């Protein structure tokens, strides 16, 4: 294949890391960002390079527009194009509404939803010019079904789905597809904090009776980024073991 270039946000660990490795194995050059974990980012950078593709890592906060601009420009200027953008960076700050602090609502919306806006805003002019691009936004099943204790997170992820559909309508005529993935419960640091009782309750609600892996999500990213998914846009694909249907 011709060389293709992908940007992945929030990729020092978890689902983002698996997405980077999946796309690298498919032959994409990669630019990824992360917020704080320099050591993990360096390890991933070396691992990706060992797969024979080019890779750059850049520290930054997706909720800051200048950082998003720097990230997208790094890919454009280093590799000449941005074919794929995966908006993956996300956080949780869970609490019941009675106890949820205003700053915890704001930070979750700011990273999960505005962060998705920021990187997308920066990449759209480049993809419009190319008349080609694939934007893949990582939402969550709780953005569809809601979840007690996650009003901020659910709102941010529902927002990502609405955002995905709107941008898909805006840019479809330019050969750009925009889709979302809604993972269910995936084994990463984000879900490690759940206690055994909550995990057991969750597993009872999953027809496949287990948590997913970050590779389960990365595989769908690989498909949506490929030419095989050219006629799919504005969709949200659940990767959740059947939890929400």
Active site residue 153: yes
Q: Assess 171 for contact with ligand NAP (CB under 6 A).
A: no
**Shortest Cβ distance from residue 39 to ligand NAP (Å)?**
10
Token output for 140: 């969550």
Q: Assess 61 for contact with ligand NAP (CB under 6 A).
A: yes
Q: Assess 179 for contact with ligand NAP (CB under 6 A).
A: no
Q: Annotated binding residue at 11?
A: yes
Site for ligand NAP, residues 108 to 127, rule: CB under 6 A: 111, 115
Token output for 120: 């997308």
Helix 38-49 / helix 14-25 crossing angle, nearest 10 deg = 10
The residue count for binding ligand NAP (CB under 6 A) is 32
Q: Assess 62 for contact with ligand NAP (CB under 6 A).
A: yes
**Shortest Cβ distance from residue 95 to ligand NAP (Å)?**
16
Q: Annotated binding residue at 119?
A: no
The size of the chain, in residues, is 245
Binding segment (CB under 6 A) for ligand NAP, from list 75-83, 117-125, 183-191, 228-236: 183-191
37 and 43 in contact (C-beta within 8 Å)?
A: no
User: What are the angstrom distances between the C-alpha of 56 and each of 48, 103, 116?
Assistant: 9, 32, 20
Range list of H helices, 95-213 = 102-108, 115-130, 142-145, 151-171, 189-192, 196-204
158 and 185 in contact (C-beta within 8 Å)?
A: no
Q: Assess 91 for contact with ligand NAP (CB under 6 A).
A: yes
Q: Assess 191 for contact with ligand NAP (CB under 6 A).
A: yes
Token output for 193: 């904090």
Q: Annotated binding residue at 68?
A: no
Place of tokens 């996300």: 90
Among 12, 118, 154, 238, contact with ligand NAP (rule: CB under 6 A): 12
Phi, psi dihedrals of residue 230, rounded to the nearest 5°: -60, -25
- Reference 219, options 6, 3, 44, 23; nearest CA is 23
Among 138, 161, 180, 220, contact with ligand NAP (rule: CB under 6 A): 138
Catalytically active residues are 153
State the residues that interact with ligand NAP by CB under 6 A: 9-16, 33-37, 40, 61-63, 88-91, 111, 115, 138, 140, 183, 185-186, 188-191
């Amino acid at each position: 294949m011709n060389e293709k270039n992908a940007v992945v946000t929030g990729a020092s660990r978890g689902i983002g890391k698996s997405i980077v490795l999946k796309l690298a194995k498919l032959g994409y050059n990669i630019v990824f960002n992360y917020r704080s974990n320099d050591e993990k980012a360096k390890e991933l950078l070396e691992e990706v390079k060992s797969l024979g593709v080019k890779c750059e890592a850049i520290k930054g906060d997706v909720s800051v527009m200048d950082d998003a601009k720097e990230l997208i420009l790094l890919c454009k200027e280093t590799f000449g194009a941005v074919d794929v953008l995966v908006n993956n960076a996300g956080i949780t700050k869970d609490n019941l509404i009675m106890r949820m602090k205003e700053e915890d609502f704001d930070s979750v919306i700011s990273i999960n939803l505005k962060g998705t806006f920021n990187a997308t805003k920066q990449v759209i002019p480049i993809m419009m010019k190319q008349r080609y691009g694939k934007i893949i936004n990582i939402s969550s099943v709780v953005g569809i079904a809601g979840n007690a204790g996650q009003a901020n997170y659910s709102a941010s992820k529902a927002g990502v789905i609405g955002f995905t559909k709107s941008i898909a309508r805006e840019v479809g005529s330019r050969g750009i597809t925009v889709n979302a993935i809604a993972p269910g419960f995936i084994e990463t640091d984000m879900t490690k904090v759940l206690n055994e009782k909550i995990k057991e309750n969750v597993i009872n609600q999953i027809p496949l009776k287990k948590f997913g892996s970050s590779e389960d999500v990365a595989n769908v990213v690989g498909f949506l980024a490929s030419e095989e998914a050219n006629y799919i846009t504005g969709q949200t694909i659940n990767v959740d073991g059947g939890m929400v249907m």
